[in-house]
Amino acid sequence: MFKSGFIAIVGLPNAGKSTLLNAILKEDLVITNPKAQTTRHRIKGILNGENHQLIFSDTPGIIEESAYKLQEAMMGSVNESLEDADVVLLVLDGQYPKFDLFVERMKKTTCPLVVVLNKADLVENQDSIEAHMESIKNTFNTDHVFLASAKEGFNIETVVASLVLLSPEHPAFYDKETISDESVRFLVSEMIREQILNLFKKEIPYSVEVSVTNYNEKETIDEIYATVFVERESQKGILLGKGGSAIKALGIASRKRIEAFVHKKVFLSLTVKVKKDWRSDEQQLRYFGYLKK
């Protein structure tokens, strides 16, 4: 019997949804960061087993009030993933396992629910976590509640086994070699954004969008040209840094990250451009793929 299911990974920002997806896939496919709202798109990652194929959608962390059109679009992608799902994988931070926000939301879906209390390695009070798990089981009427650590790889296989169990019987939807249906260009642009999250402070990571404009795959090297868009002239100055020092550091860190992913030498050229207030501009959001055409 072959099982194949669409799994929507949802939860609050910073719960560890993307880290959990990477742990499940055993590959650094999606970007992760201590800053909230790292994930902006619905991103598919595919786990292939002998008798199953699970198609995960990593989603942006749920926020109650959107300050920008970008955030509205991000929440749209969460809803879309929930609509398509066979199983919902709700990820909570085990240190603060609040779930009130999800009670109403989950009532709208009829599909089975698996809940992960992540960051088990940081949870100190075992008694209180067990009480929380009991109350989650009762509230959502599910037996599938697990304590896990995406970072340390603890209990990941148990979570996967539950997801397989709850998935429908169906042949594979994708080629069994496939790990994602995202383009390499998109994944590379995310890796550059990840380095921006690592290297820059305050509003900079939230104000940037990265777009790969050219990707030339050569025999021994991949040549990549990418543009980093910012909202204002002042942000461009920060990204470039004194004498171009900041963009140089960003280029080096990004190149290393991409090389580790494509297992090849990479030449990377970065350009910075201003696209005024792009986060509030519907046309720009469409252009960057946040809204459907």
Residues near Mg ion (CB under 5 A): 17-18, 38-39
Q: What's the min distance (Å) between Cβ of 19 and ligand GTP?
A: 3
Q: What's the min distance (Å) between Cβ of 20 and Mg ion?
A: 9
Contact 146, 116 (CB under 8 A): yes
The site map against ligand GTP for 142-161 (x = CB under 6 A) is: -------xxx----------
- Measured from the CB atom, the residue of 68 and 225 that comes closer to ligand GTP is 68
What, of Mg ion, ligand GTP, none, does residue 34 touch, CB below 5 to 8 Å by kind?
ligand GTP
**Which one of 10, 24, 28, 38 is in contact with ligand GTP (CB under 6 A)?**
38
* Tokens encoding 70: 């970008």
From the number of C-beta atoms within 10 Å of its C-beta (0-12, 13-18, 19+), residue 245 rates as exposed
Chain length of the chain: 293
Contact 109, 89 (CB under 8 A): no
Q: What's the min distance (Å) between Cβ of 59 and ligand GTP?
A: 8
The candidate with the shortest Cα–Cα distance to 17, out of 117, 105, 160, is 117
Q: What's the min distance (Å) between Cβ of 48 and Mg ion?
A: 22
Dist. CA 157–CA 207, nearest whole Å: 37
**Which one of 7, 8, 15, 87 is in contact with ligand GTP (CB under 6 A)?**
15
- Angle value at C-alpha 51, between 48 and 53, nearest 5 degrees: 35
Give the footprint of ligand GTP on this chain (CB under 6 A).
Answer: 11, 13-19, 32-34, 36-39, 60-61, 118-119, 121-122, 149-151
